[in-house]
Amino acid sequence: MKRAIALCFVMALFSCHKSIKKEDHHIIEVLKTDHPPTLDGKITENSWNKATWHPLDQNWIGNSYTFEDFNGRYKLCWDKEALYLLVEVTDDMLYDGHKDPFKFWWDDDCVEVFLDEDNSGGLHQYSHNAFAYHIALDGNVVDLAPDREPRLFNDHATSVRVTEGNKSIWEIALKLYPDTFLDNASNVPVKLSEDKKIGFALAYCDNDGSKERENFIGSVFVPGEDKNQGWINADIFGTLILKE
């Protein structure tokens, strides 16, 4: 009986074990805003004027590309309700070849936001230890669930995209959820506060009309030959630090 109790105790310890991010890298301090930006594809608010541009320039997948084919940058701000993201992309062709949001969503043009609410790092391919939100041109938000099936997370990320010529402005409001998030249940987003650390990376899937995306361009440097690690391992995410 005592051995059984001891075994249960050990198993409980393992089940409660959380991964710990190996190190913080690509650290960005994000300023709080008193007036959240209006999601309208315009960048006239003071919250954006005060924020710093960051490059989206790490080629994770594909051959080299020209500046005319793709270039991107982004800004961030926050309040207690959400993390706000402004993405400016120049792309010579927007491609949406799969109208079904659950079919090859990664091969259409989309913004992909990687979020790890507690900056713990670790594997998340089939868990909610972290999220990899694929935000499609039509606004649908897709990620894999623990049952290894894609799901819509449209209530996690609200976005507006305005495209003029080759330039698209995406404004996105992101609610953050802990790793205790359960699908098909009532979940409460986390309230954000000063000095909170969040695991974060950004990427863009660029397809100019091919069967598969030609490039996958990210915001953080990923060492090694296989740079397509964000959808599997949150250790590659950078770290945001929220500041007043």
Q: What is the pLDDT of residues 75-86, one digit of tens each?
A: 999 999 999 999
Task: Reply yes or no on whether the pLDDT at 94 is more than 60.
Answer: yes
Residue 163, pLDDT score:
97
**Confidence band for 21, pLDDT divided at 50, 70 and 90:** confident
CATH code, domain with 212: 2.60.40.1190
The whole-number pLDDT of residue 135 equals 98
Helix (H, G, I), strand (E, B) or coil at 19: coil
pTM metric for this prediction: 0.91
Per residue in 48-75, pLDDT (tens digit) is: 999 999 999 999 999 999 998 999 999 9
**Residue 49: enclosing H or E segment and its boundaries?**
helix 46-49
pLDDT of residue 15: 39
pLDDT surpassing 50 at residue 8: no
| Distance from chain centroid for Cα 168 | 18
Q: CB 163: neighbour CB atoms within 10 A?
A: 14
Tell me what percent of the residues of the chain surpass a pLDDT of 90.
89
Average pLDDT, the chain: 92
Q: Look up the domain containing 70 and give its range.
A: 22-243
At residue 18 the predicted structure's pLDDT band, cuts being 50, 70 and 90, is low
- Across residues 93-101, what is the average pLDDT? 93
Residue 16 has a pLDDT of 43
Which helix (DSSP H) or strand (DSSP E) does residue 243 occupy? strand 238-243
Q: How many domains does the chain have?
A: 1
Q: State residue 3's pLDDT score.
A: 41
Residue 33 covered by a domain: yes
Taking the CA of residue 118 as centre, how many other CA atoms within 13 Å lie in the half-sphere pointing to its CB?
13
Residue 43: inside a domain = yes
Residue 66, domain member (yes or no) = yes
Tokens of 117: 């609410």
Q: Is the pLDDT at 17 greater than 90, yes or no?
A: no
143-193 pLDDT tens trace:
999 999 999 999 999 999 999 999 999 999 999 999 999 999 999 999 999
Residue 12 resides in a domain: no
Query: Would you say 102 and 171 are in contact if contact means Cβ atoms under 8 Å apart?
Result: no
CA distance 86 to 159: 10
- Tell me whether residue 193 is in a domain: yes
Q: Is residue 7 part of a domain?
A: no
The partner residues of 172 in beta bridges, in order of sequence, read 85, 159
CB atoms within 10 A of CB 14: 8
Q: What is the model's pLDDT at position 22?
A: 81
Domain for residue 78, yes or no?
A: yes
Parallel, antiparallel, or unpaired: how do β-strands 58-61 and 54-56 relate? unpaired
Q: In this structure, is residue 9 part of a structural domain? A: no
Taking a C-beta distance cutoff of 8 angstroms, is the pair 171, 84 a contact? yes
Structure tokens at 133: 């939100």
